[in-house]
């Protein structure tokens, strides 16, 4: 059962949700830094590092995976059962990776 594509999609959806939940407090702290220009400038300079940009890209991919995985779950719950559900997993993963690739391309422009 754990080798089934649906189980892996379930696992990715849950793990991406946990990662996003862990990121949220950091995001709120950064928003708080926006109240002080000097602190925000220091953070923005730090965030220009390649490792931070890579982490941001991973975060965007996780967000897209979570979004499209959630849409897949809604489709499974609300639409009639069909054999195409494996295809939905593939489409959800492809859409998430496309979003991540778009973010990478945009960050270098």
Give the separation between CA 100 and CA 61, rounded to whole angstroms. 5
CB atoms under 10 Å from CB of 59, counted, come to 18
Which parts of the chain sit beneath pLDDT 50? none
Verdict on whether the full-model pTM lies above 0.75: no
Domain range for 42 is 5-107
Say how far apart CA 73 and CA 102 lie, in whole Å: 24
Number of domains within the chain: 1
Give the span between the Cα atoms of 62 and 102, in whole angstroms.
14
Output the six-digit token pair for 34. Answer: 């926006």
Tallying the residues shown for the chain, one arrives at 109
CATH of the domain at 24: 1.20.1300.10
Task: Output DSSP code: residue 36.
Answer: S
Q: pLDDT (tens digit, 9 = 90+) per residue, 52-76?
A: 888 888 888 888 888 888 887 777 7
């Amino acid at each position: 059962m754990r080798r089934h594509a649906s189980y892996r999609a379930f696992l990715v959806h849950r793990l991406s949700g946990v990662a996003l939940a862990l990121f949220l407090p950091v995001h709120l702290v950064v928003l708080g830094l926006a109240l002080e220009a000097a602190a925000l400038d220091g953070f923005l300079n730090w965030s220009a590092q390649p490792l931070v940009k890579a982490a941001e890209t991973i975060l965007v991919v996780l967000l897209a995976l979570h979004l499209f995985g959630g849409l897949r779950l809604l489709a499974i719950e609300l639409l009639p059962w069909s054999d195409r559900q494996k295809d939905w997993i593939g489409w959800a993963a492809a859409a998430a990776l496309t979003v991540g690739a778009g973010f990478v391309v945009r960050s270098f422009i």
